[in-house]
Structure 1
Amino acid sequence: MADQTKHPARSRRAFLKGGVSTGLGMAAAAALAAPAVATGTDEPIRWRLVTSWPRNLAGPGVTAQRICDRVRLMSGGRLDITLYGAGELVPALGVLDAVSSGTAEMGHSASFFWQGKMPASVFFTAFPFGLLPGEHVSWIEQGGGQELWDRLYEPFGVKPVMAGNTGVQMGGWFRKEIASVEDLKGLRIRMPGLGGAAMARLGAVPTTTAPGEIYQALSSGLLDAAEFLGPWSDRAMGFQQVASHYYAPGFHEPNGTGEALFNLEALNRLPEDLRAILLEACKAENGRALAESDWENAGALAVLQQQDGVSVRLYPADVLAALRRETRVVLDDLASRDEMSRVIRDSARAAQERLAPWNRVALSAFLAARDQDL
């Protein structure tokens, strides 16, 4: 499971002295941040980026490296970021702590890994039966989501931003068929976040196994089932070799936002143009990664079915209905834990209520009409 230890409290003043709050806009950040100190040399600024992914893993691992490469190119080599894969410098689930402490200036991970420290962090990756990728971006950029994300991470001295997206997820790999809710009882499944909590209410035993450890756990029988991302990344991890039932839909993660984490003090020490380059590189990766994931997932799904003999199944209707019911309970329980969790839950729910009617008219009806002959 993810680390459940609470992070030591830190004062707002300690983090803002000589820097800026995560809630301020970039214009204010540029005005308040300490000026860069001229060194009289052409030596690049060197940063370390730690990730929760195996190096160059299809999907998020590729995204993390591409951000490093893009920043190096856009800055003319003035900012050189070295990537460390999961376990190379810090454990896969130690990325937030490493960035907070300054062990690394930057991280790439997924927010639901920090649920033990910040229950509401899960909303910034995905929540069950929640926002699709485009809807999630709308919430973050237009609906106040970024400001809430900043406020949530501020006590850790960390600035979070969207940095890649693996798109709509699959429901997971199962060693045995799921025919009814009864089949979930006692099921040992790798499913972090709120989806795992909903599964637990139906008798399953969810875990937050680090990505690089999933294959071995599934292969050895320590896990009966596991979800990760979509066909592209999942096939690269080899899950089709140890489980033959591949379920949809990914009710638990209809979105796959990756997050970049910046140590606030390190970010504020950078010249204004390098800060802008970092943020724009991450923003550019959102569109690039989502396009790549959709394209590669489509191709990998065909290979899994036609060459690997994988059976793609839909969760039974009664299972989805039960999960939908339990998700409402899980979300209400999370919102009752602290004020920040309630505010973030309400904000994400309001975004969904605003966007869903439009998407039913604009997207659902169109897809139903378009795909009849495909």
Structure 2
Amino acid sequence: MDRRKFLVAGAAAPATLAAPTIARAEAKHHWKLVTSLPKTLPGAGESSLRWAERITQMSGGELKIDVFGGGELVPAFGTQEAVENGTAQVYHGSGSWFAGRHLAHSFFTSAPFGATPDEMHSWMYYGGGQELLNEFTNPRGLQIFLGGGTSVQSAGWFKKEINSLDDIQGLNFRITGFGAKVMNKIGMNAAAVPPGEIFPSLQSGTLDGAEWVGPFNDLAFGFHKVMTHMYTPSFADIYGGIEYGINLDAWNALSDDLKTMIETASEAEANRNTSFYLKANMDALDKLREVEGLTIGTLPDDILQAASAASKEVMDEVAASDEFIGRLMDSYYGFVAKASSYKQLYEVPLSAARENHFG
């Protein structure tokens, strides 16, 4: 049986493959996957389990992948280093969490006023994004693939009403990546708090506010139990991407068939995870709208305007700091600007027309 034909057929199959139809093989490769998230976290956390299970099943057990949640094997934000040094073979997490190691990571997760999920996938697959990611990460011993995005995220949760730029001055606010740099510029104190520590930090008052993901994961984390105001949209986390980073030596040790399976599983998971979040976020927002005492609103214009100006400053500084980032930004924002122009003609008018249609 042609293995590549099997792979194409398998990509369209249901998530759970019938075990009797797959010839089991003794594992030639046994990998550890370390995720920065609780592996049972609905959505992004469960995505890592599905990715690992599908690859294990498609390979007939030739490649077996065990998943370890945040903090089980290595610290939540130490997963990338663990893969680089060979402690694990794969990490699963947001590139923005590794921005402190190199800012280029953030562009493949979210960047200020950047790409939506459909734009991000198009840039990665057809606009040169994957090639730039390989150029950046292969020399560091990593082979990285996208694993999907949560789409436009919530701007943040607060204990008080936010009416203007003045109201956020001096607040201790959880945010990562480029968003942290921008928020610092407009008067906040940004803190890169790991996911599992956000709720207790809000509850204790260590944080005055936080951004995490969107309605679905925010609801699951219980922010509405300790915060009274939720604002949208995030200017910084628009794709909200998750990635799978593979140790390059482990990657190179695989057969071409196994490499193709991983690439196919990653592309399928990027679509599956992104699709999941649209439905889950819509349903969760309905539930949040019913929470007594919770106010849901949009960020004041002066905050978005200040964030836009600060984002341009940050991007100029970043572009000047590194030749590769300069080329990366030209590619990324060039694609986003073209997509934005296209959508102004097609999708923005449609969105307004649909709003009128549904009343």
| TM-score (ref. length: structure 1) | 0.87
CA distance in 1 between partners of 2:213 and 2:202 (Å): 15
CA distance in 2 between partners of 1:322 and 1:313 (Å): 18
CA distance in 1 between partners of 2:26 and 2:323 (Å): 48
2:216 maps to 232
2:188 maps to 204
8 A Cα contact 2:157 2:230, kept in partner: yes
Aligned-residue offset at 1:308: 5.2
Aligned-residue offset at 1:324: 0.9
Across the aligned residues of Structure 1 and Structure 2, the Cα RMSD in angstroms comes to: 1.3
Task: Decide which of 210, 213, 229 is 1:245's aligned counterpart.
Answer: 229
Which stretch of structure 1 is more off in the superposition, 198-207 or 301-310? 301-310
Which secondary structure state, in structure 1, belongs to the residue aligned with residue 244 of structure 2?
strand
CA distance in 2 between partners of 1:211 and 1:336 (Å): 31
Amino acid at match of 1:257: G
Q: How does 1:323-342 map to 2 (within 5 A)?
A: 323-342=307-326
Which secondary structure state, in structure 2, belongs to the residue aligned with residue 140 of structure 1?
helix
Task: Decide which of 25, 31, 51 is 2:35's aligned counterpart.
Answer: 51
Aligned-residue offset at 1:202: 1.1
Aligned-residue offset at 1:45: 2.4
Q: Does 1:283 find its partner at 2:267?
A: yes
- The gaps in structure 1 that reach 5 residues or longer are 1-40
8 A Cα contact 1:118 1:152, kept in partner: no
8 A Cα contact 2:27 2:63, kept in partner: no
- How far does the alpha carbon of each residue in 1:206-258 deviate from its partner, in whole angstroms, 9 at most, with x for none? 01111111111111111001001011111111111111211101111111111
Which stretch of structure 1 is more off in the superposition, 151-160 or 290-299? 151-160
Amino acid at match of 1:86: G
CA distance in 1 between partners of 2:291 and 2:136 (Å): 45
Amino acid at match of 1:232: F
- The gaps in structure 2 that reach 5 residues or longer are 1-24
Aligned in 2, Cα 1:124/1:43: closer, same or farther, shift over 3 Å? closer
Aligned-residue offset at 1:309: 4.3
Which stretch of structure 1 is more off in the superposition, 206-215 or 159-168? 159-168
Task: Decide which of 112, 117, 124 is 1:140's aligned counterpart.
Answer: 124
Q: How many equivalent residue pairs?
A: 334
Identity of aligned residues (%): 37
8 A Cα contact 1:240 1:308, kept in partner: no
CA distance in 2 between partners of 1:254 and 1:85 (Å): 25
Task: Decide which of 97, 101, 110 is 2:94's aligned counterpart.
Answer: 110
1:254 maps to 238
1:298 maps to 282
- How far does the alpha carbon of each residue in 1:190-213 deviate from its partner, in whole angstroms, 9 at most, with x for none? 011111211111110001111111
Aligned-residue offset at 1:310: 2.4
Task: Decide which of 176, 182, 185 is 2:169's aligned counterpart.
Answer: 185
8 A Cα contact 2:59 2:261, kept in partner: yes
8 A Cα contact 1:63 1:164, kept in partner: no
- How far does the alpha carbon of each residue in 1:276-324 deviate from its partner, in whole angstroms, 9 at most, with x for none? 1111111101111111100010001111111454211110111111111
CA distance in 1 between partners of 2:101 and 2:325 (Å): 12
Aligned in 2, Cα 1:274/1:309: closer, same or farther, shift over 3 Å? farther
Q: Does 1:216 find its partner at 2:200?
A: yes
8 A Cα contact 1:135 1:352, kept in partner: yes
8 A Cα contact 2:143 2:247, kept in partner: yes
Which secondary structure state, in structure 2, belongs to the residue aligned with residue 189 of structure 1?
strand
Q: Does 1:270 find its partner at 2:254?
A: yes
8 A Cα contact 1:132 1:168, kept in partner: yes
Amino acid at match of 1:222: T
CA distance in 1 between partners of 2:27 and 2:99 (Å): 39
2:53 maps to 69
2:155 maps to 171
Aligned-residue offset at 1:106: 0.6
8 A Cα contact 2:26 2:61, kept in partner: no
- How far does the alpha carbon of each residue in 1:320-367 deviate from its partner, in whole angstroms, 9 at most, with x for none? 111111111111111111111111111111111221111111211101
Amino acid at match of 1:282: S
Moved >6 Å (runs of 4+): none
CA distance in 2 between partners of 1:58 and 1:351 (Å): 31
